[in-house]
Amino acid sequence: MPTIPKPRPDHDPNPFRFLDLPKDIRLCVYERLPVTTHHCPLPTDKAETKETAHYICVVKTMPVAILATCRLINSEASSIVEKQLEKVRNRSPQMILRVANTIDVPDDISTLHSPGDWNGDCIIGQIMRILPKYHSFDHSILDKLGLYIPLKIKQPHYDLLWKFLAHAYRRHSVRTNTMDSPALQIAVDGLETSKPFWDKKMTFSFEGQDESMLDEIRIQYLVEAARQCRKIIRSAWDGEMMEFIPTYNERVAMGHPEETRIGRPLIGEFFPTDGRFLIGEPVTTYPIMPEATWINEWKEGAQFPS
């Protein structure tokens, strides 16, 4: 007769006894608690995913539940965790602009334009101008800002969006130097390839086109990306400084056909130069973000203090 395996207990009968570790080791554990970066799509007039969203909110969290374990751990870890939390709280709010999702190409591919079904820049404007004017902050802030919250939105997504707005609200309330502490940082993503043009490959062939024509397409794509930044500025500005930082991923670029690939030098020359037409407006353009900065400060996932 076959033996029926016994069900596994819900709890390990021999759990790891953390408090048996020497105090010095426990302190090292507290110092190495990770900061986890989450990417939360900003809702539009429909449910969005990370792949389709125009804008991504960057949210950072820490496992502060460890402080509720017991009084001893709370007394040992509080000062260490609070120091790490302060770094997270003091950073500028971060968003990612997905350029490829905000640009459409007409059938004749003669010009680019932005979809008119939703003005995401207006939502950012509310975050920048209206959010700081509230004297209290609670979950109803999502309704006050007019954010579209699908009924089927998952609770973790809702909570992350609320955390992002709470962080932006707090940063607005404590900022004193606008030049040293931008109200919002926006990483411009998707500059490696003129993707919308490639999506039209069924109605347009690159075959036979000379390099000057292809360069014109690439430039047109970068111009529209800069226009997106300008739209956000005009909608959101209330005397607050924003930073736009172009990004570039070599692996993404090499994964696209050469005809639509945009080289790093072109972006490096174009974005800061094109920023000249924004003089007099509250914007700073930067050289391409170093990959290490993206990995350490923007990329989704856990980062452990060194």
Check if the beta carbon of residue 122 is closer than 8 Å to that of residue 214. Answer: no
pLDDT tens column, 121-170 = 666 777 777 777 776 677 677 666 666 665 556 677 778 888 888 888 88
What are the beta bridge partners of residue 187? 96, 245
Of 126, 122, 121, 242, the closest CA to residue 185 belongs to 242
Q: Where are the beta strands (DSSP E) in 195-247?
A: 242-246
The pair of structure tokens assigned to 236 is 């959101």
State the pLDDT at residue 278: 45
Regarding beta strands 242-246 and 55-61, do their DSSP bridges make them parallel or antiparallel, or are they unpaired? Answer: unpaired
The structural domains of the chain, with segments of one domain joined by +, span 36-64+92-303
Residues in the chain: 306
pLDDT of residue 41: 87
Task: Write out residues in the chain with pLDDT < 70, as ranges.
Answer: 1-13, 44-47, 104-123, 135-136, 139, 142-154, 174-180, 196-211, 234-240, 269-286
pLDDT of residue 61: 93
- The answer to whether 77 and 67 are in contact (CB under 8 A) is yes
Q: State how far the Cα of 63 lies from the Cα of 80, in Å rounded to an integer.
A: 12
What is the pLDDT at residue 209? Answer: 56
| Residue environment code for 218-240, b if the CB has 16+ CB neighbours within 10 A, otherwise e | bebbbebbbbbbbbbbebbbeeb
Reduce the DSSP state of residue 202 to 3 states and report it. coil
Quickly count: other Cβ atoms within 10 Å of residue 144's Cβ: 12
Q: What is the value of pTM for the model shown?
A: 0.81
Condensed to tens digits (0 to 9), the pLDDT of residues 204-230 reads 555 555 567 777 778 778 877 877 777
**Cα–Cα distance for residue pair 268/74, rounded to 1 Å:** 48
